[in-house]
Amino acid sequence: MTDKRQVANVEKSLRRIAYIVKQRGREILNQFPITPPQFVALQWLHEKGDMTIGELSNKMYLACSTTTDLVDRMEKNDLVERIKDKSDRRVVRIHLLEKGKTIIQEVVKERQDYLSEVLEDFSEQEVDQLEKILASLHREMESEHAYER
């Protein structure tokens, strides 16, 4: 049985870390011609490949109309394009364009550079341990989330 105090401390630390990462991420995004929701959409497309508006809406927890507006703006900025599905012409997929990929790569690199600076005072062993623990936590959360569906 896990100690409630420890659980409370872990939750608090994760929440604080997530807040700082989010704030830092927004500062980095200010250097680029996209909004935070557009970045999230581009990340999903980069990680999962082409998606329909409905699929992207579900991933982002947004209404389809909101996602459509988001995609319209990204399409105008040459970040994505709408393409007809090869197997079903009625289905339209959102495809990430080179400009969108480049922005994702640049933003992620800046985020990693920031994290690298933060981890500079940690030993290689501590960073290795942190990486393994976070990966285990993520796997456990993913399996729990999959189970709930």
Q: pLDDT (tens digit, 9 = 90+) per residue, 10-42? A: 999 999 999 999 899 899 999 999 999 999 999
Mean pLDDT over each residue of the chain, to the nearest integer: 93
SS3 90: coil
pLDDT digits over 68-82, tens only?
999 999 999 999 999
pLDDT of residue 67: 96
pLDDT of residue 86: 87
| Residue that wins the pLDDT comparison between 87 and 51 | 51
Tell me the pLDDT band of 140, cut-offs 50, 70 and 90.
very high
**0.75 exceeded by pTM:** yes
Question: For residue 30, what is the DSSP state?
Answer: T
Give residue limits of the domains in the chain: 4-148
pLDDT of residue 149: 44
**pLDDT of 148 above 70:** no
Buried b (16+ CB within 10 A) or exposed e, 28-37: bbeeeebeeb
Q: Does domain 4-148 have CATH number 1.10.10.10?
A: yes
Give whole-number Cα distances, 1 to 4, 7, 93, 136, in Å. 9, 11, 46, 18
